Amino acid sequence: MNLRPAGERALLVEVEDLGTVHRLHAALRALDPPGVTELVPGYRTLLVVADPAHAGSLDELAAALPTLELPPAEAVAGDPVEIPVRYDGEDLDEVARLTGLDPAEVVRRHAAPTYTVAFLGFSPGFPYLVGLDPALAVPRRDTPRTSIPAGSVGLAGTQTGIYPTASPGGWRLIGRTEATLFDPARDPPALLAPGGRLRFTVAG
């Protein structure tokens, strides 16, 4: 574990892998350290942000972190959330061409794994999912779209994700879900959380 300041009121914690990020994130959420206002997980980092009035408490937290007991990975993951998808995205045929698979095989391979939510970003509730079949790795579009409908399921590189709201984007779209991934009136607003698991199901 490597700790370093990130500005005057944040601490960047670097660890060896994504699983440790999720376990540390869960441990700190349960601990609820005084003055900490935000925890932002990444692939191998966790940013701990403090209220300016309590920024000094980050030094104490940094000293305690190496000995903090982390929960087991299975306790963080929980049961998979099932997301039904209608696989009729406008880039499905293009993905099939790029991968050398037929569209039905693209759908089968995409719906087969149990994915892990690496973190949320880009827009509120947008899940970056890991666990994609390597055969489905495709580059982003050369020209991003100016507007992608909410619920669109896309591929980019070795990741898949879901657009919670209408927004620009360059991922290749293979389907769409009616699931609401982000609702400010819901508690919590985001349907998914870092470290959680997800499975796609084929909608009729």
**Which domains are present in the chain?**
2-76 (3.30.1360.40), 78-202 (2.40.100.10)
Q: Are 62 and 11 in contact (CB under 8 A)?
A: yes
The per-residue pLDDT for range 123-147, each reduced to its tens digit, is 999 999 999 999 999 999 999 999 9
Stronger pLDDT, 6 or 92, i.e. the higher one: 92
Closest by CA to 119, choosing from 35, 39, 37, is 39
In this prediction, residues 157-174 reach a mean pLDDT of 96
pLDDT of residue 90: 96
Q: Is the confidence at residue 7, as pLDDT, over 90?
A: no
The per-residue pLDDT for range 29-88, each reduced to its tens digit, is 998 888 899 999 999 999 999 988 876 778 888 888 888 999 988 888 888 999 999 999
**How large a percentage of the chain has pLDDT more than 70?**
99
Burial class of 72 by CB neighbour count within 10 A (0 to 12, 13 to 18, 19+): exposed
pLDDT of residue 100: 97
In this prediction, residues 89-98 reach a mean pLDDT of 97
R_g over Cα of the chain:
19
Q: Is the confidence at residue 204, as pLDDT, over 80?
A: no
pLDDT of residue 77: 82
pLDDT of residue 144: 95
Four-residue CA torsion sign, 167, 115, 118, 23: positive
Query: pLDDT class for 113, splitting at 50, 70, 90?
Result: very high
In this prediction, residues 6-24 reach a mean pLDDT of 92
pTM of the model: 0.87
Q: How far is CA 53 from CA 11, 83, 188, in A?
A: 15, 41, 26
Mean pLDDT, the chain, rounded, equals: 93
Four-residue CA torsion sign, 157, 180, 114, 176: negative
CA distance 51 to 137: 40
